[in-house]
Chains A and B, each alone.
Chain A
Amino acid sequence: MNTSFIILLIAVPLGAAFLSVLVKKLGKYFLGAAIGFNLAASGILAYDYVSPVIYEIGGFKPPYGISLVLDEYSLLGILLLNVVFALIAIMACKYIKKYEVVLSVALAALNGVILTGDLFNLFVFMEISAIAAYILTTMNKNIKYTFNYLVLGTLGSGLLLFGIAVIYNMFGSLNIMDIQNRMAIISYPVAGALVLPLALIFTGLSVEAKLLPFSGWARGVLKDSNSLVGTLIVSAFSAAVLLAFGRLIDSLFVMSDSLLIVFTVVTVGTLILAEIAAFSKKNLREILLFSSIAQSGLVVALFLQGLKSAALLVLINNVISKMILFTLAAKIGEDNGTDKLEDLKGVFLKNKVLGFGFTAAAMSLIGLPLFFGFIAKANVLVSLFEANNIWLPMVILIVSVIEGAYVVRMLTTLWNTGEEGELAKAEDAKQYKLTNKVRLTIIITIAAIAIVAAGILPLLQMNDWFNFDILSFLTDGLGGV
């Protein structure tokens, strides 16, 4: 395998960004080429993957130089990220104009966030992707919320850097694996001393991962965002941040019991409160953004319990289904001037194909059987029971009821014209139009079929589908193809 592809995932989009300022007219093509290259490169890396690779930038061996780590975990990350990014860019290409460079930079930075094996480098890439996100959200024309986002995001990354500095002071290294090794050879317990840096890092990452109470920016930024910005933030950006979060929790978070309880309360609290908030909202995009916050809470809570595979399944399910849901929600919102549920009664009667895509994604989100979300949820519950954890499955099941309630309410409103009957139907049919319909329909249909296929095939093919390890599946399953 040519390991240079690992660095090219970051270098090519960056180079494309720099070049497209020079030749402005070609910006679109440079962005397209970068996205295409990244898709191909991540495909090649996945195809050739045998064992973890560490790429030493500058030829300096870790921990001295910066290294990129390609293991099953980051491989899954870059595959998911590049595919999702490409799909969103194709579906929402009418908004890309003028923002090609920012998108290229964001693509490079998100790949960097997933691949990097160095704490400070992680901070740099988080900051680049955050700045790209601030610029993208100015498309909403509601600068006040962008400013809010900028202030919170900068404070968060500052706290992250503070935590990294304390870690460097204690262990004398910035390489994540090296710090892990240095922790392992210390014979006395280190959890007590790590409380402050871990709390700082957790807080810093929580801002971007949208955990409560640090997610104040999300509502303003996302509630009237278009299908490019909003979808990118709820799927691509949040996937990258959560993956980085998971990697840090997995390798650095040696927590004392009380700290673990605090973190768990924050994440599970996010899950519960955000689902309740989603239930109480009346607008499509607001429902989806609160559901996205809740899912982030669930993913981080699972990472904290040490259930990497289950967390990744939930993450994948959330990213793919949110991509479909948010794109359609934003599209409906733009075309009709509102995304209030009651004004959109029976909107899907006119567009049945898109409606079925939306329905499949929503069903997968709540985890109904025959959809991918079911596999994810079953894995979560089974692995939690195996870890002798009773209360978290209870919480998840109760929350699922709330989630199911608002998703079903959403679907019935969108499919059903309600009491007013024919009149409302005719009105909506007139109002509801879609530009870019062909591209959108194709991608959403494919993604919806993928969700259904990923929900049915494991049931038929695997005996232990409720207990399957996505990371080893990636090497054994795909590598063996």
Chain B
Amino acid sequence: MKQIVSILLVAAIGILIFSALYFSDETLKFNEYGNVNLDDRVSEKYIDKSVNGNTEEIIFGETQNAESGSANMVTSVVVNYRSFDTLGEVTVLFVSALGVGLLLNGKRKRKNLKDAPNFILKQGARIIFGIMVVFGVYMFIHGHITPGGGFPGGAIIAASILLLYLSDDEFRVKLSAAKAVESTAGSLYVIVGLLGIVLAGYFLQNFLPTGTVGEVISSGVIPIVYMLIGLKVGSELSSVIDGFLTEEVEG
């Protein structure tokens, strides 16, 4: 009975959404998939990096001192144009990791794994762990020129920690160290924002030279911010993993 009611309700919502989006006869229309003119959208200026009045074309490897020096346009939106959202999203992860910590608190020990890991698994996992951490670091250092950035980089680092958890039933991260990294990185992000007020005039404004588009050392504060985000996300997700793979000890 409940299923039938749910299906009917969902079908009604679906018909409503589809008819309003794709079969409406209004003059103002929802732009269908792929059928988009970027000139009508604010993002056109993100691509041309022309929010502050630049009129020249941006050329990879040539343009210098653009308002946002990142070759990856998504990164320039994430860390320059809409950096405040990113600060917010870092906060979301921060507060939910904190919530997990508050819920799964107390003195804890590792849960027993179903199959006790053998020596080869342990050592093999450690080798892969090193490679994964290096890849994660690569990911957030190159966030402004390749796909990637702080969030995927941090997630990869956390995944390498998860690998150690699964391959070794004794292993635990030092929660106090994870907390320290998390908190330092978060405070530094806010401080970068405040430095923007002091040195450039507005919160989170870029105060470093942006260099040449496409080089590793370029785009001002972006690599710094992404490094902080990477460390923060990595340590936060690691402490969340620890919460789920441990159990409370009595007393």
Contacts and interface: CB of A to CB of B under 8 A. Distances in A.
Interface string B1-44: 00000000000000011001100101111110000100011110
A101 interface: yes
A144 to B, nearest CB: 13
Given A58-B80, A60-B80, 12 more contacts: A7-B202, A19-B183, A22-B183, A59-B200, A66-B82, A66-B84, A105-B94, A127-B92, A128-B88, A128-B91, A189-B27, A196-B16
Contacts, number: 167
Given A18-B187, A193-B26, A65 B89 contact: no
Nearest to B68: A60
Contacts of A105: 91, 94-95
Contacts of B197: 4, 7
B159 to A, nearest CB: 23
Interface stretch (B55-63, B98-106, B130-138, B145-153): B98-106
B203 A120 contact: no
Interface string B71-89: 0000000001111110111
Contacts of A7: 197, 202-203
Contacts of B31: 169-170
Nearest to A106: B95
A210 B42 CA distance: 34
A7 B190 CA distance: 11
A196 B20 contact: yes
Contact of A58 (B45, B83, B89, B94): B83
Interface in A27-64: 55-61, 63-64
Given A188-B27, A188-B28, A172 B42 contact: yes
A132 interface: yes
A174 B84 CA distance: 14
Contacts of A127: 92
B192 to A, nearest CB: 11
Interface residues of B, number: 60
A58 B202 CA distance: 6
Contacts of B196: 58-59
Contacts of A66: 82, 84-85
B180 interface: yes
Nearest to B96: A131
A296 interface: no
A102 B99 contact: yes
A121 B51 contact: no
A188 B29 CA distance: 12
B30 A170 contact: yes
A157 B40 CA distance: 27
B112 interface: no
A7 B30 CA distance: 35
A430 interface: no
B193 interface: yes
Contacts of B117: none
Contacts of A109: 88, 91
Given A105-B94, A128-B92, A60 B190 contact: no
A213 interface: no
